[in-house]
A and B are shown apart, each in its own frame.
Chain A
């Protein structure tokens, strides 16, 4: 699960991890009234207005209806014009940004609607760094990654100048050891003051990552101010869905408007579903088989409309639900059901399909491939129903048939 920047900063602040002062705004008036308080608390006349969406590249992003506006805007009007000038500028920005669609390198062409702004104090930056805590699967441990190349895309740094990325592995029994934090500070070439602050920052951050069951914390940039303070200027966090049961406070930060409604609906029914942009709907049991079914559709010249894993123990009702989710996608021109029943019984799947078709109707071709436990019974249920189903010998045969019928 992902959260917004402002939520990540609230969590960090709770742990004493240094972040700039900021205020959340969902209306223009809230944005404007944040300015005076921020300027007087921070003593800095500059404020920053930041779009809150679950996607990176906001700074370089542009609003669809206001191409002159970026996703992140630094307001310097307060330097010469005082708080009132800053407020006027923030009002103008908030009016353009709130409710508008922001397109960034990560959102795709359709962009994401901005419902929330984060108004933050200006910072006098001396240096921009990169810092993240993430799982290293090869080691089965969390690692800290740091780099002097702050503000850049870290994948690009890793590709072009891998020697500029520092790594320390976190021993789950010890945490990040003091010497490791010191070694990172040394590698980043920090001053004496900044070193002290960085060590405190990275220790607290790694402890928090473990405590929160975080998949990824990325601070890009981590800034060193002209006074040697170390601060998270941005904050991206994701959490292990399997561990959310022990973090109700974090689970409550979920922003449903950032997620695909069909995916949420599927999740609520215990199904794993992901929308894609092709035309062949897929209903499969097992994650590996579901992925491989998409691949096979592509291999024979089609495009999958979705990933859908009904799981190992789905009942007829869940299958029917899955069927409804697929048929409600207007792009779907054909449906391919691919089941290898192990624990999942073929007759249960067949019953679910027949029920669903009776209920929602069937306006596109349907190819079913059944194999595994109770397969004869399953085939019989489908044959004896009046549902118009084309049967397939195996996965490839089924994919070929549905791609042909749907085109």
Chain B
């Protein structure tokens, strides 16, 4: 078991530019079922991806892959033709929120938006649009979601992952890789790793993912990685204390970040005295979460939390 995605998940890609194409190829190499693409001017054609199989991904495949995927003009056409239930968005920032709304309108169950730099106002509108639709949005400005050896949707390096028993949820891409790498080295592995993104307005939040991990029988513990800005970690800590039955370890980045400065991520800013690392770490400690003092200790913190 896993959460959000597994070996049966069929995925389409929105935005088949250089980045979209590169990562579609990597996903196919990993064994993800990439079944279609959306592109306004290339509709009616197909694109073929070939290369060497990434054997850290889905097991039991030949060493070489060749996959031809159809390109459609709209998400609706692509979903109808392919039966995909998930979409990954690489569309450039000015058009990305629109792409998210189009996917939701077409009934895509899981929309994963990788794009960084979407205007906040566009995301405010997109979230309003999604509010009464069953679609789940992950991101934007995130590395994506991976269920090791089953399905990789996004830009994370597949080979550092290992099928296992820990869930990972994070606002930061590279810190997710750190945690995953440590869990793999410790032999704990991951059920699913979810990047929820570094923007101030995003789709799925910590609480949503923690709830899913709590209900997933394979997941035995969770690492949550937060950073300065907003109050999502405090809300997650409350949820952990109230409902979580599994051990949780964590880390918060930005203890040394000065107030009023955006630390790379649009959402990583301490403003008006709110969103400090100290407040988040306090809330997590109070909820019984084992907080790692440095990112190098995340894996050990998980071991400690598992008892």
Contact = CB atoms under 8 A, between A and B. Distances in A.
Interface of A: 135, 137-138, 140-142, 154-155, 158, 171-173, 210, 213, 215, 240-243, 245-246, 272, 274, 276, 284-292, 294-299, 304, 307, 309, 312, 340-343, 371-373, 394-397, 399
B295 interface: yes
A288 B228 CA distance: 10
A285 B128 CA distance: 33
B120 interface: yes
A274 B266 CA distance: 14
Interface in B19-53: none
A288 B253 contact: yes
Contacts of B173: 286, 288, 312, 342
A45 to B, nearest CB: 38
20 contacts: A135-B124, A137-B201, A137-B231, A137-B267, A138-B231, A141-B128, A172-B128, A274-B261, A286-B173, A287-B268, A288-B171, A288-B264, A289-B295, A291-B263, A295-B256, A296-B295, A307-B257, A307-B264, A342-B177, A399-B294
Contacts of A274: 258, 261, 263
Nearest to A291: B253
A285 B174 contact: yes
Contacts of A287: 172, 174, 198, 227, 263-265, 268
Given A373-B157, A396-B296, 16 more contacts: A240-B120, A240-B121, A242-B117, A242-B119, A246-B119, A287-B172, A288-B172, A288-B175, A289-B172, A290-B264, A291-B172, A291-B227, A292-B175, A299-B294, A341-B157, A396-B297
Contacts of B121: 172, 210, 213, 240, 243
Contacts of B265: 287-288
A260 B231 CA distance: 29
- Smallest CB-CB A-B distances: 10 pairs: A288-B172, A287-B264, A286-B174, A243-B119, A289-B174, A396-B296, A291-B253, A288-B175, A309-B264, A137-B230
B156 interface: yes
Interface string B218-257: 0000000101111110010000000000000001011111
Contact of B263 (A173, A298, A307): A307
Contacts of B122: 243
Contact of B128 (A173, A295, A296): A173
B172 A215 contact: no
Contacts of B125: 172-173
A246 B121 CA distance: 12
Interface string B149-167: 0000001110010000000
A288 B294 contact: no
Given A312-B173, A342-B143, A291 B264 contact: yes
B107 interface: no
A376 B202 CA distance: 36
B182 to A, nearest CB: 9
Given A342-B174, A343-B155, A371-B181, A291 B228 contact: yes
Contact of B124 (A141, A245, A307): A141
B60 interface: no
B227 A288 contact: yes
A240 B225 CA distance: 25
B256 A294 contact: yes
A280 to B, nearest CB: 11
Given A210-B121, A242-B120, A295-B255, A288 B170 contact: yes
Nearest to B174: A286
A290 B295 contact: no
Contacts of A242: 93, 117-120, 266
B17 interface: no
A289 B173 CA distance: 8
Contacts of A215: 120
Contacts of B257: 291, 294, 307
A246 B118 CA distance: 12
A277 to B, nearest CB: 9
A291 B121 CA distance: 26
A141 B201 CA distance: 9
A138 B230 contact: yes
Contacts of B225: 288
A292 B78 CA distance: 41
A137 B200 CA distance: 6
Nearest to B23: A343
Contact of A342 (B155, B254, B256): B155
B307 interface: no
A394 B296 contact: yes
B264 A372 contact: no
A295 B155 contact: no
A171 B266 CA distance: 22
A244 to B, nearest CB: 9
A286 B170 CA distance: 13
B272 to A, nearest CB: 5
Contacts of A172: 121, 124-125, 128
B114 to A, nearest CB: 10
B18 to A, nearest CB: 10
Contacts of B157: 341-343, 372-373
A298 B125 CA distance: 40
Contacts of B261: 274, 307
A340 B120 contact: no
B225 to A, nearest CB: 7
Contacts of B232: 137-138
